[in-house]
Amino acid sequence: MRLSMDLELQDVPGQLLLALQPFRDNKANIISVVHHRDRKTPRGMIPVRFVVEMDRSKIETVNAKLKESGISVVRAGEDRLLEAVSVVLVGHVLHSDLGDTVNRIDSTGFAEVMDVSLTMTGVDEPSSAYLKIRATGKAEIQKALAILREVGAEKKLLVIEPIEAEAV
Amino acid sequence: MRDIKVSLVGYGIVGHGVVDVFNRKKKMLRDMGLNLKLVSVTDHTGTVVSENGVDAEKILGERTLANVATSSMKGKEAISAIDSDLVVEVTPTNIVHGQPGLGHMEAALSSGKHVVTSNKGPLVVSYSRLKKLAEDNGVMMKFEATVGGTMPLISLVERTLVGNTILGIRGIFNGTCNYILTRMTEEGIPYTHALSEAQDLGIAEADPSYDVEGVDTAGKVVILANSLFNMNTKYSDVDVTGITGVTPEALALAKKRGYAIKLIGNVPALTVRPTLVPLGSPIAVSGTLNSAAIYTDLSGTITVTGLGAGSIETASAILTDIVSIYRTKRIDAIF
């Protein structure tokens, strides 16, 4: 599982190495370490965000080791839905069962609709909706978009997707 | 000094621009060693022929050549009969059968004349055949003005970015659609209102379907795919959605989240559809501007933007193509 943790380190040499040790000992794969020297806490501690991939069963051991070394764990949480995408739908968004549209994404298990804004004009006029979809990875985002495209074709909705930042 | 005899076929908005630009740039071209002589101008009413060069002042005030034509020759007949080195083909475009431009280009190429054009239709219908015809006859066919007007795109990829592998091109290739979407966003007005505003300003045609249904953009996608990606595609291969379904509410929702909605053509994906583009992105240009992001393996992403249409602007792209034909030296000719 992928985990993000916010730690606070004392501003003395060797602290970062000390914080890394328990992760290493428990075979965690470190994805990123962001060291915020410029954002010292009122107590003079330095916040550091770790993103790691590790076995769920080892979390407690790592936590205990960190505490032993005098490092405080401010927050730890599972990062499950790592990627996000914005989509705009136009058409009879509500009357073509918006609940079902959202559910088609949510029921995948790998993607969820996290945010919906709806603008409705006249009764017979097309409505417009903004959806933010989060998913467990880039490939899952593409799968979610494919589902939405399918739903769009079925319900005669215009699906406006974001331009891809990469070439392929 | 090199004398180049040019025949112009088509005397509409772009044709007028070509005559005007040739006239204005005469001295500059001479300084480059090129003496461009416009030996004939042809439209659907006839032809003005002059061995020493057609007098621009005499014909620029005329909407058609009906009152000034010196010969009744038209189209292919004029192309074959008049002695020229290069034909500029700027007749109205037809994306279904490519005529009359297709016949004009075939006639020019097969009689050994270079072709420079702003006419998309023939290239969409028959690119590979025309290209082969040019090769077989040892002449060139250039068409920068067909995509993005004056915005350098084809020459940028073929010459400046040579050596790069082009991974994709995405962009705004229709100024009319971009104008309508921009106005809908700015004023919160519905599509039909923005369209009539564009029609009043002469930005949209009386029958706007060619632009707003995405047909024009799809034609450009086909040209880019065939010429820069060596694909062999036709119009029907492109998945096209126009802008008529976009509402001011959708534009407002997108804007609130940091996006503009633009009609984006995508090569080699062969799609044309309204797309969310981040507001800070260099391709999110407004008004009638066109833009293109070129994704390359060595140079990263290059973005260009410029005026996509207009008489003088299109003529400028045509002039660039003409000059580049005579400035091109083959690599093996340098040594």
Nearest to B170 by CA among B248, B282, B259: B282
Domain count within chain B: 2
Nearest to B269 by CA among B292, B294, B237: B237
Q: Would you list the domain boundaries of chain A?
A: 2-78, 83-160
Cβ distance B166 to B278 under 8 Å? no
Return the ∠ at Cα A147 (arms to B180 and B281), rounded to 5°.
40
Cβ distance B91 to B84 under 8 Å? no
Tell me the CATH number at B7.
Answer: 3.40.50.720
**Chain B contact for A128 (CB, 8 A cutoff):** yes
Whether residues B248 and B189 fall in one domain: yes
Query: Could you tell me which CATH number the domain at A83-160 has?
Result: 3.30.70.260
Confidence of residue A33 (pLDDT cuts 50, 70, 90): confident
Closest residue in B to A126 (Cα) is B247
Query: What integer pLDDT is reported at residue B334 of this predicted model?
Result: 47
Tell me the CATH number at B259.
Answer: 3.30.360.10
Whether residues B109 and B163 fall in one domain: no
Domain range for B277 is 157-307
Query: Which of the residues B25, B37, B120, B220 is marked catalytic?
Result: B220
Cβ distance B261 to A160 under 8 Å? yes
Whether residues B66 and B180 fall in one domain: no
What is the complex's ipTM, to 2 decimals? 0.84
Whether residues B169 and B129 fall in one domain: no
Q: Facing residues of B34 across strands?
A: B2
Cα B143 from Cα B86, distance rounded (Å): 13
Mutation target to probe the B interface, by most B beta carbons within 10 A, among A85, A86, A87, A88 is: A88
Whether residues B103 and B180 fall in one domain: no
Burial of A1 (0-12, 13-18, 19+ CB in 10 A): exposed
Please give the model's pTM, rounded to 2 decimal places.
0.83
The Cα diameter of chain B in Å comes to 62
Whether residues B124 and B233 fall in one domain: no
Contact A87 B253 (CB under 8 A): no
What are the 10-residue block averages of pLDDT along chain B, 335 residues in total? Answer: 94 95 94 93 95 93 93 93 96 93 97 96 96 96 92 92 95 96 95 94 88 96 96 96 96 96 97 96 95 95 90 93 81 50
Whether residues B139 and B211 fall in one domain: no
Query: What integer pLDDT is reported at residue B308 of this predicted model?
Result: 80
Query: Which among B245, B253, B277 has the least Cβ separation from residue A163?
Result: B277
**Chain A contact for B125 (CB, 8 A cutoff):** no
Whether residues B41 and B183 fall in one domain: no
Please report, for residues B2, B24, B49, the alpha-carbon distance to residue B5 in angstroms, rounded to integers and kept in the order given.
10, 17, 11
Homologous superfamily of the A2-78 domain (CATH): ACT domain (3.30.70.260)
Least confident of A49-58, A96-105, B56-65: A49-58
Catalytic residue check, B220: yes
The more confident residue out of A58 and B115 is B115
Query: What integer pLDDT is reported at residue B119 of this predicted model?
Result: 95
Contact A119 B278 (CB under 8 A): no
Whether residues B82 and B46 fall in one domain: yes
Whether residues B104 and B203 fall in one domain: no
Mean pLDDT of A61-83: 83
Amino acid identity, position B244? T
**Chain A contact for B275 (CB, 8 A cutoff):** yes
